[in-house]
Each structure stands twice: as structure tokens, then as C-alpha cells.
Amino acid sequence: DIFKKPFIFTDYSQMDSGLTNSDKSFGVICTTDYLSDWENLDKESYKNKKENLIDSMLKKLEVEYPNISELVEYAEVGTAKTVERYIRTPNGTAYGFKPTPKQFFRIPKVKSDKVKNLYFVGQWVIAGGFSPAIMSGELCFREVGKGVTNKK
């Protein structure tokens, strides 16, 4: 039951993330989720469950951060169904495909061998979700920048 699961809370305003103006915050509550909890719901039930989940998680967060709910201007739930729809990962897993040890420990490849000037970034290049996807962007930047000089 997703309503009973523990979660983590990250307040991105504790660092200069650039995600908000200085007078705002950006927080994320993250927990585990399964597609089976969402896939057989009709549209209205799906929406209601998401709204109930927001309320439930904020109530839990209130234990550590009293009155934080009063500061929330916008809340959204991304479910395993959301991830499956937009990222096309198997069963809506947030961390991409299930890598084999060979894939996991290989050096990431960002440049295509077959198509000239085609580069790859994202969680399909480096498994593991958000941070590795960002790292793949840096690797791509370095690969594209090879041989480029800054002439003034």
C-alpha cells in the first residue's frame, strides 16, 4: 500500500539549484511505487488516488516540518504509470531498464558508431535515474567538444 510506505523529502532550495526564485522553494517527496497500484484505475479514480496521496504524504511530512502544507502552492504526483507513459521504462520503473552487470560496469557510449553526429544522453546511456542521466549529458558535451578550440 503506497499510503503506508516510507519516503524521502528533498528541499532543493537548500542549494542554489536555479529551479525557483529566491523567495520560493522546490521540494520533492519520493517513495517506491508499482505500476500495478495504478494501471487498472479509471481516469477519475486515478486522479482521486493521486490527490489522496498528496494529502497523505504532506500529513506525514508535517511530523518533521509542522505547517509545511500551508506553504505548498502546487503539488503533483508522478506515478509508475506516468513514468511508463513518458519514459517508456518497463513497468514504470524510475531508474530505467534492468541493467546486466556487463551493461552496468561498461564505459558509457554517447556517440553513435553508425550515424554521423548522432549522440545519446539520458538514463538509457547510464542507468540509475536522474543524476546518471545528467552525467550522460556531461559525457556527451565532452565528446562533442573534442577537438574544438576556443579561438578569439
Residues 2-19 pLDDT 10s: 888 899 998 888 877 777
Q: Are residues 123 and 86 in the same domain?
A: no
**What pLDDT, on a 0 to 100 scale, did the predictor assign at position 69?**
94
36-43's contacts with Cβ under 8 Å and 24+ in sequence apart are: 37/2, 37/79, 37/80, 38/79, 38/80, 38/81, 38/92, 39/81
- What are 53-107's pLDDT values in tens digits? 999 999 999 999 999 999 999 999 999 999 889 888 888 887 766 667 776 677 7
**Under a CB-based contact definition with an 8 Å cutoff, are residues 62 and 69 in contact?**
yes
Phi, psi of 57, deg, nearest 5: -65, -40
Cα separation, 14 vs 85, whole angstroms: 31
Cα separation, 27 vs 12, whole angstroms: 6
Q: Are residues 105 and 84 in the same domain?
A: no
Residue 44: pLDDT band (50, 70, 90) is very high
Q: Are residues 80 and 104 in the same domain?
A: no
**What pLDDT, on a 0 to 100 scale, did the predictor assign at position 151?**
65
Q: Evaluate if pTM is beyond 0.85.
A: no
| Residue at which a domain ends, from 90, 120, 137 | 90
**What pLDDT, on a 0 to 100 scale, did the predictor assign at position 119?**
92
Q: Are residues 30 and 69 in the same domain?
A: yes
Q: Are residues 33 and 74 in the same domain?
A: yes
User: How many C-beta atoms surround the C-beta of residue 79 within 10 A?
Assistant: 21
Check pLDDT > 70 for residue 30.
yes
**What pLDDT, on a 0 to 100 scale, did the predictor assign at position 152?**
63
Q: Are residues 121 and 68 in the same domain?
A: no
**What pLDDT, on a 0 to 100 scale, did the predictor assign at position 21?**
84
Residue 19 is classified by DSSP as: S
Residue 86 is classified by DSSP as: H
Cα separation, 138 vs 127, whole angstroms: 15
| Residue at which a domain ends, from 51, 66, 90 | 90
**What pLDDT, on a 0 to 100 scale, did the predictor assign at position 68?**
93
Q: Are residues 11 and 85 in the same domain?
A: yes
Mean pLDDT of the residues in the chain: 86
Q: Are residues 70 and 109 in the same domain?
A: no
CA distances 102 to 46, 106, 108, Å, are 38, 6, 11
Q: Are residues 1 and 60 in the same domain?
A: yes
Q: Are residues 73 and 39 in the same domain?
A: yes
| Residue at which a domain ends, from 41, 74, 90 | 90
Take residue 109 and report the three cell numbers written for it: 557510449
Domain containing 86 equals: 1-90
